[in-house]
Structure 1
Amino acid sequence: MVNNLKKGIFGENEAVKYLVSQGYRILDRNYRTKVGEIDIIAIKSHILVFIEVKARTSTSYGYPYEAVNWKKQEKIYKSSLIYIKHKSMNNYQIRYDIIEVYLRKKLKINHIENAFCM
């Protein structure tokens, strides 16, 4: 479990570096509500982006994005509504992304924009 936690933190840190290099401004990380958690909240070109990060060392058990099932998507969506209300950010276009971080000899990041919608 500790190893998975370290992988998750490393993956999120790499995702943040990637997003910043792509012109995103990071607003929050690990935003928790009673409903769920959002890994990264960022903004780019007046689009508010809620991002789920999945880090894996292999695809033996499927691709990372496959772990973001309907139930997880619903938690992210409900948490995003709480965030928008709490931060008074009603005037933004909203998008839900997934970032897959492959932790192999050579790090690989796959950014899936508009991964799901509600």
Structure 2
Amino acid sequence: MNNIEKGNLGEEIALKYLLSKGGKIIEKNYRTKIGEIDLIAKINGELVFVEVKSRSNINYGYPCEAVNCKKRKKITNVAKYYILENCLQNISIRFDVIEIYLNDKKINHIVNAF
């Protein structure tokens, strides 16, 4: 399985996980000229921007470690664009990271990751 396939599988697992927790998926792979957000969901009245990171193992670090300062800035800017484009200025938002451990079949949901 190549990295794109791993990423797609991880996003599907995260999507199903969020749905099972009562979330509503608003967007999947929301793209702009400046970047992409894997999932945008509505959870308990909050608009949640979700970055999904999948790994087969932790040989190269934990999945959340890939969401570095540069990546967080890009996600934040895309989220600002989404909010403006959809006139959602008065809504509560947060940024989550969902780690998918493919070999262990584990999910780690980091709420308010940044």
State TM-score, norm by structure 2: 0.97
Cα offset, 1:45, TM superposition: 1.7
Unaligned runs of 5+ in 1: none
Q: Alignment partner of 1:62: what SS?
A: coil
Q: Which moved more, 1:27-36 or 1:11-20?
A: 27-36
1:91 shift after superposition: 2.0
Task: Tell me how far 1:49 sits from its aligned partner.
Answer: 0.3
Does 1:100 pair with 2:99? Answer: yes
Q: Which amino acid aligns with 2:81?
A: I
SS of the counterpart of 1:58? coil
CA distances 1:73-93 after superposition (whole Å, capped 9, x unpaired): 000000000001111112211
Indicate whether 1:91 and 2:90 are aligned. yes
Q: Which deviations, in whole Å up to 9, do the C-alpha atoms of 1:70-113 show, x marking residues without a partner? A: 00000000000000111111221110000000001x41100000
Question: Quick one: distance in 2 between partners of 1:102 and 1:45?
Answer: 26
Length, aligned pairs only = 114
* Residue ranges of structure 2 left out of the alignment (5+ in a row): none
Partner of 1:49: 48
Partners of 1:64 and 1:101 in 2: CA distance: 8
**2:38: which partner in 1?**
39
Find runs of 4+ consecutive structure 1 residues off by over 3 angstroms.
Answer: none
Q: TM-score of the superposition, structure 1-length normalised? A: 0.94
